[in-house]
Amino acid sequence: MSNQFNRRNFISSAATATLAAIAIPDMVSAAVKNENAKKLTLNANDIILFQGDSITDSGRNRTNTSPNSNGMLGSGYPYLASADLLLKNPGKDFKIYNKGISGNKVFQLADRWDADCLQIKPNVLSIMIGVNDFWHTLTNGYQGTIDTYRTDYRKLLDRTKQALPDVKFIIGEPFAVKGVKSVNDNWYPKFNEYRRAAREIAAEYDAPFIPYQDVFDEAQKTAPGSYWTADGVHPTLAGANLMAHAWLKAVK
């Protein structure tokens, strides 16, 4: 009787694990299904650069400047997405960098752009920025507005295009998971303006847009927000893998 019970438990656990493994790509597909099916084609010898704040930074080693290296890529979605790209494209000689810095807003990206972007000369530039542009108005006395965000973001992309005319952008949506620690009613509806602005900017610059908010909203149908983010903003390991799957949907 005990053996039968254990066997049933094993089968049930295995089935649950299988469903969970299937759920990640399904959740991402469900979240992005209403987006423009724009995908960016990656080519041999592409230099791919991830930029943003702490969500992108993800504890990277800033003294390590070697592309494709574990420490330099951090431990978040850039690392996980890069691992998949490098595994599946061994002959394309991609060089992948992560230059996200915790706490950054758009104007702080601009302050370090020459060294942390233009000198790297990426063919593909993935930017996810905007959470701090709003969050720090609540916590750090930052005086920027949604108009500041839009203006600074466009200036940054225009400057990049002027220096690197052939660069291709990927724009990630700033997201927040309401009800998990730092994210409360004070965020809304104002924060949604930053999400809309990022979407509009992606359309203006003909860039794939990654709807991370929809991805996390969809994920919460299978597990609570605290499973996917530690504080409503910074992803857990599961959340980072969710983001990596969404990012990979934007390239081919």
DSSP class of 28: H
Q: Which helix (H) or strand (E) holds 181?
A: none
Q: Which helix (H) or strand (E) holds 125?
A: strand 124-128
Q: What is the CA radius of gyration of the chain?
A: 19
Cβ contacts of 172 within 8 Å, gap of 6 or more: 52, 126, 127, 128, 198, 209, 210, 212, 247
Of 251, 239, 174, 250, nearest to 212 by C-alpha is 174
Q: Which two tokens stand for residue 78?
A: 């850039």
Burial of 115 (0-12, 13-18, 19+ CB in 10 A): exposed
Q: Answer yes or no: are the C-beta atoms of 209 and 169 closer than 8 Å.
A: no
Q: How far is 86 from 84, CA to CA, in rounded Å?
A: 6
Q: Identify the H or E element spanning 252.
A: none
Per-residue pLDDT of the chain in tens (252 residues, 90 and over written 9) = 444 444 444 334 444 344 445 466 676 776 676 665 689 999 999 999 999 999 999 999 999 999 999 999 999 999 999 999 999 999 999 999 999 999 999 999 999 999 999 999 999 999 999 999 999 999 999 999 999 999 999 999 999 999 999 999 999 999 999 999 999 999 999 999 999 999 999 999 999 999 999 999 999 999 999 999 999 999 999 999 999 999 999 999
Q: φ and ψ at 4, to 5 degrees?
A: -65, -40
Structure tokens at 209: 């847009």
Amino acid code (one letter) for 128: M
Task: Quote the tokens at residue 207.
Answer: 């860039």
What is the rounded CA–CA span in Å between residue 45 and residue 48?
Answer: 9
Domain ranges within the chain, ordered by starting residue: 2-248
Domain covering 2-248: architecture: 3-Layer(aba) Sandwich (3.40)
Alpha-carbon distance of 225 to 177, in angstroms, equals: 6
Q: Which amino acid is at 152?
A: D
How confident is the model over 162-199, as pLDDT tens digits?
999 999 999 999 999 999 999 999 999 999 999 999 99
- Cis amide leading into 189 (omega within 30): yes
212, 173 in Cβ contact below 8 A?
A: yes
Amino acid at 123: N
